[in-house]
Structures are given as C-alpha cells and as structure tokens.
Amino acid sequence: MSKKNKQKFETRVMTANMLVGGNVVYLVASGNWDEDIAGARLIENDDELRRLNNVAQEALVKGIIVGPYTIPIAIGSPGPNPLSKREQIRANGPTVPAGFSK
C-alpha cells in the first residue's frame, strides 16, 4: 500500500480461507472465492485495493471466509504467481505426498 504515487504499485491478489472447509481461496473477477489462483482478480492500484478490501470484509461478516489479506504476485504465463514461498505453498498445497500413501 504505497502512499507515494511515484512508487510503483505492487500487483496483488486477495486471499483467505473458507470458513467451513478452511481451504485456501482467492477472490476472482466474478466476486466469488475460488481455490484456483489462476482466476484471481489482480489488484493494480489503491482504488482497486480499497474496493476488494470491502468485498472481503463483507464476505467475512457473512461468514463465507476468514482471515482475508492480500499477497504480492508476479504475472506468469498460466496466471498469477505468488512471490513468497509461503504463498506458493498455500496456492499449490503441501510439496510432499500426504501421509504414507503415494
């Protein structure tokens, strides 16, 4: 959230966990929450950030999601790619096989 206009706005997307399933979701263009980051709506300026914050707040109050926040991303060929390792793992799931099963 840069105050200075000179500073370049870091492209972000809005993420949260669903209240019931706890699963990771992203705010997509339709205003819905989806598990696939590929369709996440890009936030490229402060107005958009404010607007999507309001959308997220509403979803929070309605009990659809919990813990919304935005994450910086890079635009890749299939879609947005989170910059941090943590968010990459949130987007794609654990990097290790689940339990002992293959």
Partner 1 sequence: MYRYDEFDHTIVRERVDQFRDQVARRLSGELTEEEFRPLRLMNGLYLQLHAYMLRVAIPYGTLSSKQMRMLAHIARRYDRGYGHFTTRQNIQYNWPNLEDVPDLLADMASVEMHAIQTSGNCIRNVTADPYAGVATDELEDSRIYAEIIRQWSTLHPEFSFLPRKFKIAVSGAPIDRAAVRFHDIGLQMRQNTRGELGFGVLVGGGQGRTPVIAQTIKDFLPKQDLLSYLEAILRVYNMLGRRDNIYKARIKFLVNEIGRDKFAALVEEEWERIRGGALDLHRDEINRIRAYFRPALYELITEQESAYDTARRSDREFDRWCASNILPHKQPGYGIVNISLKPVGKAPGDATADQMDVIAELAELYSFDELRVTHKQNVVLGHVRLADLHSVWQQLDAAMLATANIGLASDIIACPGLDYCNLANARSIPVAQKINERFSDPEQLARIGQIRINISGCINACGHHHVGDIGILGVDRRGEEYYQITLGGDPADNAAIGESIGPSFSYDEIVDAVETVISTFEGVRETGKTFANTWRRVGATPFKENLYGPTRK
Per CB under 8 A, residues contacting partner 1 are: 17, 19-24, 60, 62-63, 66-67, 83-86, 89-90, 93-101
When the beta carbons of 4 and 100 are compared against partner 1, the nearer one is 100
CA 68/CA 60 separation, integer angstroms: 8
Q: How far is the CB of 99 from partner 1 (least distance, A)?
A: 3
- For residue 70, report the phi and psi dihedrals to the nearest 5 degrees: -105, 155
CA 17 to chain centre: 10
When the beta carbons of 19 and 38 are compared against partner 1, the nearer one is 19
When the beta carbons of 1 and 66 are compared against partner 1, the nearer one is 66
CB 17 within 8 A of CB 68: no
